[in-house]
Every structure is written in C-alpha cells, then in structure tokens.
Amino acid sequence: MSESAFPRDPAAPGPDAPAPGAPDPAAPPRPPAYTPGSAQPRLNRPVHERYPQIRPTSGYGDPRILHTGPGPGAGTEQEPERSSKLSARLALALTVVIGQLWGLTIVVDEWMAGDTGTAWWGAGFLVLSFLVVLGLWLIDPKDR
C-alpha cells in the first residue's frame, strides 16, 4: 500500500518548499523591526543602544551601586506594645475559632445521633463564642 489514507492537496507546496513567512537564507540580514512608540526616532532604538552604560552585570557588578535593599531600620519593630497587643488578641481569637470548630463537630454528631437537647446547648456555646470574638473586636476600635 503506497497510497496514504488522506490524499495530498495538489495546491499545497511540496515537502521541500520553505514554510510561508520564513526568511530567505540568501537574503542579507535585516535589522529587527521596532514598533515606534515615539515621534522622535532616537527614542525608538532598543534599550542597549539608548543606554550603553547598562550592562547585563548591572546591579551586582556595577561599582556605582553602593547599597542594595531597604534603608536603615527596615524590618525592625516600630511599635512593640501594639504588636504584642495584636498578637495576644490574635491568639485569643484563634483559640476561640478552634473551640468553635470543635463545638461544631460535637453539635453535628449529637444532632445526627438524635440528641437534639445537647445539640441546642452546643449551638448556644457556638453563639457565645462568637460573641466573645465580637467583643474582642470591639475592645479597641483604633486598631482597625
């Protein structure tokens, strides 16, 4: 069987023809086409031509750069009292949330077992723990 299951299109170029849009290897090399973004042609040159002083090693090998990174004092605590207060509040809120998840598990288990009295007490615990978190949030409104 020498014939293919799909016949070749007679109008298609042969397998040895160059792909459409491919550069002609015999033509001289052309400069890359830049899309102009300015009315001044000198600004439309590539970056390495506009700024020859910028080299690929600029940044770590450039002697003009003396200091890198943020300025002095960056990363240090500016208000340690506020930070400790917010951390304590966050620890309390996380404890209450973990308690709510545990309570929700117990309430669902009791409800599914048919003990609705215990489930209602558990639901009351969940509401109370939510009110505790709300109270923690209302304590200091200037921290929001």
Question: Which residues contact residue 58 at a Cβ distance below 8 angstroms, ignoring those fewer than 6 apart?
Answer: 65
Q: What is the pLDDT of residues 65-95, one digit of tens each?
A: 666 667 666 666 677 777 888 888 888 888 8
- Tokens standing for 100? 């709510």
Q: What is the pLDDT of residues 29-69, one digit of tens each?
A: 765 555 567 777 777 777 777 777 776 665 566 666 666 66
Q: Is the pLDDT of residue 2 over 80?
A: no
Per DSSP, the residues of 34-77 read PPP-SSSGGGGS-HHHH-TT--TTTTTS-TT----SS-TTTTS-
Report the pLDDT value the prediction gives residue 55, as an integer from 0 to 100.
Answer: 67
Is this model's pTM higher than 0.85 or not?
no
